[in-house]
Amino acid sequence: TGSHIRFAAQLQLAKQFYNRHGVLTTRQFNQVDWLSVYTTLHGLPRLFRVWACKQVMNIAPTNQNLARRDGRCATCPSCGMHAETTEHVLTCPEEGRVKAFLAAVDTLEEWLESVDTDPVLQYCIVEYLRGRRAVSMMDIARETYAPRLARLGQSQDEIGWTRFLEGMVSKELLRLQTSYIAKRRRPVLTAHRWIVGLITRLLEIAHGQWI
């Protein structure tokens, strides 16, 4: 159909654009569940989508970006140690920021459990986030002794932790949750509604780090 053709064309343009601007390599781009990302974003308020774009492209009003305009100090006002970029906003080591982030992850964990997420998959998602780039998805997957998670580990590690928090999730997440709920008599959510809910909440956690 026309909508599918437009989506495919836009996807190719996005792949070239992200690669050219250093956001994602072609290999990374191909691992992302873009249909779910697209569906999620189009269900969110316009201003939230604008923020998400600025976050990913590192063009939000961080001190580093503002310093280029007016010469102000580029250092993060919270930790006082690193240049404030959009990526740093998500990983700032200042104690209050870390506590707020971990509290948001706790809330996500409660939601994942409430919608009957595959327990092993839930563990991987939550521990990956709590690791704050210090632990790989592959290492967490190995801890579960579940071979079915190996592809998730490889795929999400290819994409990266920061992009994960920005909603760029591996296609493997949807595949794993679909397989899990196929064995449930009364799933709480369809796999597609589940992945949209997950991406939405990841973006909300990222956005919360700006407040």
pLDDT tops 80 at residue 143: yes
Q: Which residues pair with 83 in a beta bridge?
A: 75
pLDDT at 65: 95
- The answer to whether the beta carbons of residues 201 and 184 sit under 8 Å apart is no
In the structure, what pLDDT confidence band is assigned to residue 144 with cuts at 50, 70 and 90?
confident
- The answer to whether the beta carbons of residues 192 and 36 sit under 8 Å apart is yes
Distance CA(152)–CA(172), nearest Å, equals 5
Distance CA(162)–CA(72), nearest Å, equals 26
Q: Position 48: which residue type?
A: F
pTM above 0.85, yes or no: yes
What the block records as the tokens of 96 is 């209050």
Percent of the chain with pLDDT over 90: 90
Considering only CA atoms, which of 159, 188, 187 is closest in space to residue 173? 159
What the block records as the tokens of 124 is 């991987």
pLDDT tops 80 at residue 101: yes
Beta strands in the chain (DSSP E): none
Mean pLDDT of 170-183: 96
Distance CA(73)–CA(89), nearest Å, equals 16
pLDDT at 138: 96
